[in-house]
């Protein structure tokens, strides 16, 4: 538990919005480290596009918003010092939600995308297990870190188009 203050800081950092661009007049070079990703964004969209039907896209985007809600719920559970309450919200993004997906979807998603998607669902289930078991906030935060790496990894590489 010696790591707790650091982890709480991290949890709060996750829970707080990033400094807004408007408040940043560009005269504070020391504050720019966190904005590095934004600055490096390419003007050209080089993500691999995946063509889906409107219905399939709607279903996947709803799943995505569910992901974000789960992340919010997990951060909230950690920030309020009740890590066990992360279990229910994490389960909402577990393997179970894949059953509701259109059957035509899998054939259209590249293998790497499918693997990353499945791995993300499994990681939410693993987090739920930890939360309802030992419920160690440090472990949960690490699991959330790995989940967010999946989110960012996939978002960097793919986008949807409709056909
Ligand atoms: C396997 C790939 C993949 C993973 C993993 C993934 N996403 Fe996405 N997500 C996408 C794609 C593709 C889009 C659509 C982007 C586009 O078309 O510009 C998207 C869109 C979204 C959107 C926008 C939804 C809308 O209604 O427009 C949110 C929010 C989102 N993702 C959150 C998350 C979060 C949070 C995670 C991790 C917990 C996550 N995603 C993991 C691929 C992924």
Q: What is the pLDDT along the chain (163 residues), one digit of tens a residue?
A: 444 454 444 444 444 444 444 444 444 444 444 445 556 665 799 999 999 999 999 999 999 999 999 999 999 999 999 999 999 999 999 999 888 899 999 999 999 999 999 999 999 999 999 999 999 999 999 999 999 999 999 999 999 999 8
CA distance 104 to 52: 9
Work out whether the CA dihedral 145, 150, 151, 157 comes out positive or negative.
Answer: positive
CA distance 163 to 145: 34
Residue 120 CA, closest ligand 1 atom number:
5
Task: Give φ, ψ of 37 to 5 degrees.
Answer: -60, -45
Please choose from 57, 91, 151 the residue to mutate so as to test ligand 1's pocket, defined by most ligand atoms within 8 A of CB: 151
How far does the centroid of ligand 1 lie from the alpha carbon of residue 27, in Å?
A: 33
Structure tokens of 148? 């967010």
Nearest to 155 by CA among 46, 2, 52, 56: 46
Q: Pocket residues for ligand 1 (CB within 6 Å)? A: 61, 64-65, 67-68, 71, 113, 116-117, 120, 147, 150-151, 154-155, 158-160
Structure tokens of 43? 């003007």
Please choose from 155, 158, 163 the residue to mutate so as to test ligand 1's pocket, defined by most ligand atoms within 8 A of CB: 155
Structure tokens of 34? 């966190």
CA distance 102 to 77: 32
CA-angle at 122, arms to 49 and 67, nearest 5°: 55
Q: For residue 81, is it left (φ>0), alpha (ψ between -120 and 50) or beta? A: left
At 41 the pLDDT is 61
Are 87 and 131 contacting, i.e. CB atoms less than 8 angstroms apart? yes
Nearest to 147 by CA among 94, 81, 82, 76: 94
How far does the centroid of ligand 1 lie from the alpha carbon of residue 61, in Å?
A: 7
Residue nearest to ligand 1 atom 43, measured at CA? 154
Residue nearest to ligand 1 atom 33, measured at CA? 64
């Amino acid at each position: 538990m010696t790591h707790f203050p650091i982890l709480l800081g991290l949890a709060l950092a996750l829970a707080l919005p990033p400094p807004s661009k408007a408040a940043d007049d560009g005269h504070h070079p020391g504050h720019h480290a966190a904005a590095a990703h934004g600055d490096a964004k390419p003007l050209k969209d080089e993500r691999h596009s995946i063509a889906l039907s409107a219905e399939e896209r709607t279903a996947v985007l709803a799943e995505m918003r569910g992901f974000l809600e789960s992340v919010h719920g997990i951060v909230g559970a950690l920030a309020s010092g009740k890590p066990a309450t992360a279990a229910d919200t994490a389960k909402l993004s577990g393997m179970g939600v894949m059953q509701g997906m259109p059957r035509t979807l899998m054939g259209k998603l590249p293998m790497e995308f499918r693997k990353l998607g499945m791995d993300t669902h499994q990681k939410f289930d693993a987090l739920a297990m930890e939360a309802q078991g030992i419920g160690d906030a440090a472990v949960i935060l690490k699991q959330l870190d790995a989940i967010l790496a999946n989110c960012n990894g996939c978002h960097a590489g793919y986008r949807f188009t409709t056909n």
